[in-house]
Amino acid sequence: MAQKILVVDDVPQNVKLLADVLAAKGYEVVTAACGTEALERIRSERPDLVLLDIMMPDMTGYEVCQAVRADPAIRVLPIVLVTALDPSERIKGLQAGADDFLTKPINQPELLARVRSLLRIKSLYDQVETQKKELAQWNRTLEERVAEGVAQLERLSRLKRFVSPQVADLILSGGAEDPLRSHRSEITVVFMDLRGYTAFTESSDPEDVMRVLSEYHGAIGQLIMAYGGTLERFAGDAIMTFFNDPIPMADAAPRALRMALDMRARFAALAVNWKKRGYDLDMGIGIAQGYATLGAIGFEGRRDYGAIGAVCCLAARLCAEAKGGEILVSQRVMGSLEDIVEVERRGELTLNGFHRPVPVYNAVALKSAAAAARTTDPVGIAAG
């Protein structure tokens, strides 16, 4: 596209002379016959350079130049003052903001040299302006990406309250559907709480209770994360975890059992130190498998990830029936574990909220030494 030059002079012959010379060199030329018209053309035509006569009837070239420099939208426009006045008038022109001068009568080679020089500077300025706008856009894009990254970290932080870090990363990377959306899934639920907890809280200082809970939650929480369980809630001494959601797991029930066995072993070590402090506590665990509705539960500003269904109630009831150190599992869970675990049949128990007696088994230990070794290697379990 040809560069555009505005020629301003109240003498038509002068305008034609300059326009013909410039057009012959390939420039696009627009003209104005006075200062007022010149300002209108500058704002409407957006020329790349102005050749401006000084002595005009309505506005002098100085006044036009000052008006241009006062307008932020056009203040960098190159202006060449064309004058037949004494060279001392150039000082006044510089003060008004002119970039260069041509003396009448016009010397064509000088005219073209000055035009090329100023247009080259204007092109460089336009390039800088374009780069500045691009940089501003990049900055806006960067800000949006930073904001998106912060939001992603916040979502990741929320998800890591419920699921293992590996699962949270997979969800955010698009490897799993949004778990907060309400959906139905078959899950294996592990429910646990402490035996003797009520008596302990009634006879102990609150600081001691909080210290014990912190040690208990810390130990159990590490295993939940290691085995890839989804933490539903901590409620005092009660903890509910489930498997097979939001990420499907072919080994949900065996994984839940192995985690429970490791929890029992980890708890036994804690209990030894607690007994030295006079705290008589033990732990019971219940495991059940079935369908539940899962998703975000709560209100705007505070939502938790929860599971609702009879399977959750069954795991809680089994836990309530478990004696200290017992891991009670339902018939459905037992069907997935009979090849790997030694059990004691507890018979059919009548559980609160269930109309018919429920077959219950106590998981004692893994059957083989190789399987037992795997319980101490959650990472290996996940890989297998």
Q: What is the mean pLDDT of residues 174-190?
A: 80
Q: Strand order in 49-53's β-sheet?
A: 28-32, 4-8, 49-53, 79-83, 100-103
**pLDDT reported for residue 192:** 96
Give the residue with greater pLDDT, 247 vs 193: 193
Retrieve residue 281's tokens: 């506590």
> What does pLDDT average to over the chain?
87
Task: Look at residue 43 in the predicted model and tell me its pLDDT.
Answer: 93
Confidence of residue 53 (pLDDT cuts 50, 70, 90): very high
What average pLDDT does this structure show over 266-280? 94
Q: What is the pLDDT of residue 321?
A: 96
d(CA 79, CA 6): 10
Output the pLDDT for position 202. 93
- The DSSP code sequence of 69-137 is HH-TTTTT--EEEEE-S-TTHHHHHHHHT--EEEESSP-HHHHHHHHHHHHHHHHHHHHHHHHHHHHHH
CA dist., res. 319 & res. 330, Å (int): 11
4 - beta bridge partners?
28
Return the pLDDT at 232. 83
Q: Is the dihedral of CA 206, 207, 212, 213 positive or negative?
A: positive
Neighbours of 328 (CB within 10 A): 29
Instruction: Determine the pLDDT at residue 310.
Output: 95
Task: Say what the pTM is.
Answer: 0.58
Tokens at residue 126, please?
């336009």
